[in-house]
Amino acid sequence: MSYELDPLPYDYDALEPHISEQVLEWHHDTHHQGYVNGWNSAEETLEANREDHDFSSSAGAIRDVTHNSSGHILHDLFWQNMSPEGGDEPEGDLADRIEEDFGSYEAWKGEFEAAAGSASGWALLVYDTFSNQLRNVVVDNHDEGAVWGGHPILALDVWEHSYYHDYGPARGEFVDNFFEVVDWDEPSTRYEQAVELFE
């Protein structure tokens, strides 16, 4: 099986002024494409090793699958979490669950921003199937710090390539502007699917 990079679900300039056309073009077409290429290359290595019964490079290839597949999946989620029509707060079941698990939307947002400020990679809102609750998670390098059984609901990429061109070192300003383009319809659907499967 070969993995491919899907096009953005909106035009490259659709999220301006919050995220520039240049950043989206670099981030999607070059950076995200690199994870897709890395995943495919690692899978090819593993397949060749199995055929040759030579597993000397398999451990590294397995790590490459983990790293690159996580990078691809989280970037795909990141693009889907945003839209030109975003910027509102969540509604319906997800809004109710955020209030139940965090006390209020403001409490969730403050904790999520703290995660985004400390991450070397990603801040995620996940549905934790083991504990049956929503949880904010700091994930470094795509795959360090993830919660087993955690299904991502909302993803924010805070690697420097996501914001330095537009905001310089002002990561907090980028995080604030992320909330101007979050489209909660997609995370709400993802949450409902996870709950339906695991509750």
Q: Is 13 helix (H, G, I), strand (E, B) or coil?
A: coil
Residue type, 56: S
| Cα-based distances in Å from 177 to 17, 19, 86, 163, 173 | 9, 8, 11, 10, 6
How many residues make up the chain in this entry?
A: 199
Q: Measured between alpha carbons, how far is 70 from 18 in angstroms, rounded to an integer?
A: 25
161 is in an annotated binding site: yes
Q: And the tokens for 49?
A: 């090793």
53 is in an annotated binding site: no
> DSSP labels for 16-59?
TTTS-HHHHIIIIIIIIHHHHHHHHHHHHHHHHHHHHT--TTHH
142 is in an annotated binding site: no
27 is in an annotated binding site: yes
Provide the annotated binding site for Mn(2+): 27, 75, 157, 161
Provide the annotated binding site: 27, 75, 157, 161
